[in-house]
């Protein structure tokens, strides 16, 4: 169930998406720990070594491979914190031109990065609304 507080964090993720410089999609991600936003990221044209590491979990033909994804951007800003990552919640929002929001479920590479940090709760937009997904199994890529 999505709460009023969840909508507040979705709005912050939407705001992060508005600063994306990627030409095709605008996605924002916020990390929340104990009720506080501890990380923010958006997708962008530049890349990062962490993104390159996790891109091996995507299809090689994907034209967006070298771009920095919002989730990786956000995770990179918090990955060195000394916190219990199983209590971190990620909120991911995709802005679309033709409707209020779109599907923003993490791609396979981002999902492995999320699992590697043992983040269990992700919230994201779909073409129809908002979804909460609880991740029970952890990643295979090694801790970021």
Res 23: pLDDT: 82
Q: What is the pLDDT of residues 65-82, one digit of tens each?
A: 558 999 999 999 999 999
**Residue 143 binned pLDDT confidence (cut-offs 50, 70, 90):** very low
Contact (CB, 8 A) for 114 and 106: yes
What is the predicted pLDDT for the residue at 144? 38
The yes-or-no verdict on residue 60 having pLDDT over 80 is no
pLDDT at 12 exceeding the cut of 80: yes
Sign of CA dihedral 89, 19, 127, 9: positive
Q: Which of 102, 20, 28, 109 is nearest to 66 (CA)?
A: 109
pLDDT for 142: 44
pLDDT in tens, 74-128: 999 999 999 999 999 999 999 998 888 999 999 999 999 999 999 999 999 999 9
Q: Which domains are seen in the chain, by residue range?
A: 4-134 (3.40.140.10)
Mean pLDDT of the chain: 90
Max CA pair span of the chain? 41
Give the pLDDT score at 52: 82
């Amino acid at each position: 169930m999505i709460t009023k507080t969840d909508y507040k964090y979705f709005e912050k993720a939407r705001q992060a998406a508005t600063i994306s410089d990627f030409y095709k999609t605008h996605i924002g991600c916020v990390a929340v720990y104990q009720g506080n936003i501890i990380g923010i990221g958006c997708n962008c044209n530049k890349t990062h070594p962490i993104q390159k590491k996790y891109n091996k979990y995507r299809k090689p033909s994907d034209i967006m491979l070298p771009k920095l994804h919002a989730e990786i951007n956000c995770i990179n800003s918090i990955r060195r914190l000394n916190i219990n990552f199983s209590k971190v919640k990620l909120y991911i929002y995709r802005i679309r031109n033709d409707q209020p929001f779109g599907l923003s479920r993490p791609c396979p590479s981002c999902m492995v990065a999320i699992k590697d940090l043992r983040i269990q709760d992700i919230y994201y937009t779909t073409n129809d609304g908002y979804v909460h997904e609880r991740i029970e199994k952890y990643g295979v890529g090694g801790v970021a």
